[in-house]
């Protein structure tokens, strides 16, 4: 475990050096995500100009939901985004072979090799925004419920990571898979809206087969809606299931990988 | 080779490439906007159902919002330029642009023809989906007789969008990486088009600013026109604005190209 931690720290150091080489690029990455945050927030702020309630939530609850989403998104962008975006390129060019020959778990290498250090800035911003939005709730910050974040944030992150890995690793079978990857972005949109807005069949889908509701909806509900131990357990199970599904799929795909540029 | 033959050949190349990867084309033109439309229609359904006041919001009915969300998802996909901008940037960064420079071809025209041809193809495929859904599944305010005029506006918008892409791409001669600029630019434009919400819902000051920018012609104006949110006067005003901006951005692009190509060493940027 400590070996993997030291490898991770080495990746972090080299990524930071690489990012600092292109500082303008780093700033643009931060700016792009800030624009995305503003756009997502603006959508709901504009809607709440015309109504005081959307489903069961008011604007204050919706802000908590959005900032929760931003936290998971920023963590995903920091740790995994660039690695999984590049995975299909590595497979097509045969660069994955270099990872497979190393005496370290290939999935670990493929997932953490490049850390997007620009997103440390974003994480600071979105965590600040999250506590600001909690402070704006009529009942104040629910301090006693905050420890639940230690379960639901890793779980939400595992769901995003696993679904993305399933799509990225499809390149091991299909080669170029840019269109399949774009489908993931559309699925991810399901996570950017609270689950209660969906029709019953779709809500069932996002809480079970495609558990995108566990990215931000369920964590937010656990913080600000009625307390539910069952929901915490569900979140934990979904997180573990997502991780093991991703792991299993990766190992299945690697066994069938026919090596360089196949 | 004449101007038309040259550009028609480039346009045909884009179609051939698309039909070679038919699954990609299906995902790009149909599956992605269908998924987006499903999410957005669900949001607006919940939104308008939740307000109670006779299913009306900002003076428009639930059907207006559902149809807007439906069309916006498809029209927005047409107006965005990711693939060709990345491809053009890559040509400059890697130096493969030399292949075009050594031939009697214009880099601007070569990709403009491909881009427009690809967009026409995806539009023909894409727009049949909301047209059929609006006609058979969700009856509402969609007026298909307004579609041709909306398409003219979208075509003009595409030329402007391409010219903006060309300006960004020319930056590739001087910068190490431009892919992040492409992403930032496209996300910024996405905020202004009206895909996220109909611009008429925004507070008055914001609405005036957004309607006076040419980007509203990417989604809000054509979709609003098709779904009965705005009239022909706004479409004409928007068309004029887009054509003027297409001219301005085209001019800037050509000046930047002339400046940059003189400094290009031929070995990639």
pTM of the predicted model as reported, rounded to 2 decimal places: 0.86
Cβ–Cβ of A50/B57 closer than 8 Å?
yes
Tell me what pLDDT residue A262 has. 47
Residue of A nearest to B43 (CA): A197
Tell me what pLDDT residue B268 has. 63
Domain ranges of chain A: 2-255
User: What is the ipTM for the molecules in this complex?
Assistant: 0.81
Q: Do the beta carbons of residue B154 and residue B219 sit within 8 Å?
A: no
> In the numeric block, which tokens belong to residue A110?
């493929």
Give the residue-averaged pLDDT of A111-123. Answer: 92
Angstrom distance (rounded) from CA B247 to CA B218:
17
Angstrom distance (rounded) from CA B215 to CA B249:
13
Residue-wise pLDDT for A239-255, tens only, equals 999 999 999 999 998 88
Angstrom distance (rounded) from CA B68 to CA A254:
44
Angstrom distance (rounded) from CA B31 to CA A242:
24
Is the pLDDT score of B236 beyond 90? yes
Tell me what pLDDT residue B213 has. 94
Cβ–Cβ of A180/B27 closer than 8 Å?
yes
Mean pLDDT of chain A: 89
pLDDT > 70 fraction of chain A, expressed in percent and rounded: 97
Is the pLDDT score of A219 beyond 90? yes
Question: Number of structural domains, chain B?
Answer: 1
Give the residue-averaged pLDDT of B51-76. Answer: 81
Using CB atoms, which residue from B28, B43, B183 is nearest to A193?
B43
Give the residue-averaged pLDDT of A160-189. Answer: 80
Beta-ladder partners of A54: A57
Establish if B164 belongs to a structural domain.
yes
**Would you call B54 an interface residue with chain A, using a CB distance cutoff of 8 Å?**
no
Q: Residue B182 is part of which domain span?
A: 3-263
Tell me what pLDDT residue B54 has. 56
Highest mean pLDDT among A26-35, A198-207, B136-145, B218-227: B218-227
Is the pLDDT score of B150 beyond 90? yes
Mutate to test the interface with B, among A20, A31, A45, A47 (most CBs of B within 10 A): A47
Tell me what pLDDT residue B269 has. 60
Residue closest to B159 by CA, chosen among B87, B243, B72, B86 = B243
Is the pLDDT score of A175 beyond 70? no
Is the pLDDT score of A35 beyond 50? yes
Is the pLDDT score of B167 beyond 50? yes
Cβ–Cβ of B24/A178 closer than 8 Å?
yes
Residue-wise pLDDT for B99-133, tens only, equals 888 888 889 999 999 999 999 998 998 899 999 99
Question: DSSP states of chain A as a string?
Answer: -HHHHHHHHHHHHHHHHHHHHTHHHHHHHHHHHHHHHHHHHHHHHHHHHH-S-BTTB-HHHHHHHHHHHHHHHHHHIIIIIHHHHHHHHHHHHTTHHHHHTSSS-HHHHHHHSS--TTHHHHHHHHHHHHHHHHHTSTT---GGGGGGHHHHHHHHHHHHHHHHHHHHTTHHHHS--HHHHHHHHHHHHGGGS-GGGS-HHHHHHHHTTS-GGGTTHHHHHHHHSS--HHHHHHHHHHHHHHHHHHHHHHHHHHHT---TT-
Q: Which residue has the higher pLDDT, A180 or B153?
A: B153
Establish if B268 belongs to a structural domain.
no
Cβ–Cβ of B27/A49 closer than 8 Å?
no
Q: Give contacts of B 95-154 with A, CB under 8 A.
A: none
Using CB atoms, which residue from A32, A189, A190 is nearest to B180?
A32
Residue of B nearest to A191 (CA): B39
Closest Cα of chain A to B135: distance in Å?
22
Angstrom distance (rounded) from CA B15 to CA B18:
5
Establish if B22 belongs to a structural domain.
yes
Establish if B58 belongs to a structural domain.
yes
Cβ–Cβ of A42/B46 closer than 8 Å?
no
Residues on chain B touching A18 (C-beta within 8 angstroms): none
Cβ–Cβ of A199/B45 closer than 8 Å?
yes
Tell me what pLDDT residue B161 has. 95
Closest Cα of chain B to A229: distance in Å?
27
Using CB atoms, which residue from B46, B57, B196 is nearest to A42?
B196
pLDDT > 70 fraction of chain B, expressed in percent and rounded: 96
Cβ–Cβ of B50/A55 closer than 8 Å?
yes
Give the residue-averaged pLDDT of A215-234. Answer: 92
pLDDT band at B157 (very low <50, low <70, confident <90, very high): very high
């Amino acid at each position: 475990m400590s070996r993997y931690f030291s490898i991770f720290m080495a990746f972090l150091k080299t990524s930071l050096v690489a990012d600092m080489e292109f500082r303008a690029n780093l700033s643009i990455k931060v700016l792009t995500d800030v624009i995305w945050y503003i756009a997502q927030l603006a959508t709901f702020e504009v809607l709440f100009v015309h109504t005081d309630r959307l489903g069961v939530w008011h604007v204050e609850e919706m802000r908590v939901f959005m900032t929760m989403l931003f936290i998971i998104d920023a963590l995903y962008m920091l740790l995994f985004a660039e690695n999984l975006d590049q995975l299909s390129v590595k497979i097509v060019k045969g660069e994955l072979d270099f990872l497979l020959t190393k005496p370290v778990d290939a999935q670990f290498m493929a997932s953490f090799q490049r850390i997007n250090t620009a997103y440390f800035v974003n994480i600071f911003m979105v965590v600040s925004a999250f506590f600001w939005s909690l402070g704006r709730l009529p009942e104040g910050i629910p301090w006693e419920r905050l420890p639940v974040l230690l379960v639901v944030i890793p779980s939400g992150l595992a769901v995003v990571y696993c679904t993305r890995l399933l799509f990225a690793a499809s390149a091991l079978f299909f080669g170029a898979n840019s269109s399949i990857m774009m489908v993931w972005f559309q699925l991810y949109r399901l996570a950017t809206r609270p689950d209660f807005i969906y029709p019953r069949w779709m809500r069932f889908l996002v809480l079970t087969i495609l558990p995108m509701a566990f990215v931000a909806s369920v964590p937010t509900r656990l913080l600000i809606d009625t307390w539910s131990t069952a929901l915490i357990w569900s979140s934990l199970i979904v997180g573990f299931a997502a991780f093991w599904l991703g792991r299993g799929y990766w190992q299945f795909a690697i066994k069938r990988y026919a090596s360089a540029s196949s | 080779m004449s101007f038309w033959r040259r550009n028609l050949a480039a346009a045909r190349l884009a179609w051939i490439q698309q039909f070679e990867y038919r699954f990609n084309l299906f995902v790009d033109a149909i599956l992605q906007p269908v998924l987006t439309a499903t999410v957005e229609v669900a949001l607006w359904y919940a939104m308008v159902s939740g307000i109670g006041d006779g299913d009306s919001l900002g003076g428009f009915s639930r059907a207006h919002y559902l149809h807007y969300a439906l069309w916006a998802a498809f029209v927005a996909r047409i107006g965005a330029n990711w693939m060709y901008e990345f491809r053009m940037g890559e040509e400059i960064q890697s130096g493969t642009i030399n292949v075009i420079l050594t031939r009697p071809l214009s880099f601007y025209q070569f990709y403009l023809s491909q881009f427009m041809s690809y967009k026409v193809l995806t539009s023909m495929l894409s727009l049949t989906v909301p047209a059929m859904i609006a006609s058979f599944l969700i009856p509402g305010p969609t007026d298909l007789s307004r579609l041709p005029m909306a398409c003219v506006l979208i075509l003009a918008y595409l030329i402007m969008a391409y010219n903006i892409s060309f300006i960004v791409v020319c930056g590739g001669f001087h910068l190490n990486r431009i892919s992040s600029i492409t992403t930032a630019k496209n996300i910024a434009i996405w905020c202004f088009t009206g895909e996220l919400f109909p611009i008429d819902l925004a507070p008055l000051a914001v609405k005036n600013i957004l309607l006076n920018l040419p980007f509203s012609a990417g989604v809000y104006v054509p979709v609003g026109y098709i779904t009965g949110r705005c009239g022909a006067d706004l479409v004409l005003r928007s068309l004029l604005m887009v054509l003027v901006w297409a001219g301005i951005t085209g001019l800037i692009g050509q000046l930047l190209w002339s400046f940059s190509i003189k400094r290009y060493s031929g070995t990639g940027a």
